[in-house]
Amino acid sequence: MTAITGSALPARRHKTVRPRQSWAEFYDPDGVQYGIPTFPYRSAPAGLATRRQLRAQGLRPGGQQVQAQILWRHRRARRVAYLYDVTQAKPKRDATPAQQQAIAEALSARRTCPTCGQDQGFCIPRSLGECWQCADTARRPERQPSGYEAEPC
């Protein structure tokens, strides 16, 4: 029986797990390189959250300074997300009745066609400037009779 040497075996094609260079590049928990504590993507410490994460919890930063940041690369561009302390965050504020009324009026104005004056139930496309029916009528006017009418045979 002959043994198969390593060169006779087909090469294995599988992904090798390599540490990402950006992880080491963006890991600065003391803030020496970037001025504030910096962490790579998906490695923020517990107790810190982004604005979006705070919003999902019903909180807002509430005037506090940025505590840390997350840096990562996306398509060769450097992205940043600022982190805030969850314990210092304040509850979200609700809109006042006057603000809610102003928002309702603004949305109503966006739904009202300036040509026909009807509330369409959807926001009028800014590209058209009027509802679809009015825009369609303006693009394809009704065919006017040419004055020539064929005589019956």
pLDDT in tens, 70-97: 888 888 888 889 999 999 999 999 999 9
Expressed as residue numbers, the domain containing 107 is 97-139
Q: Is residue 15 part of a domain?
A: no
Q: Is residue 36 part of a domain?
A: yes
Q: Is residue 6 part of a domain?
A: no
Domains contained in the chain, number: 2
Instruction: Starting at the earlier edge strand, list the strands of the sheet with 68-74.
Output: 38-40, 68-74, 77-85, 48-49
Judged against a pLDDT cut of 70, whether residue 152 lies above it is answered with no
The pTM of this model reads: 0.56
Higher pLDDT, 36 or 147: 36
On whether both 54 and 68 belong to a single domain, the answer is yes
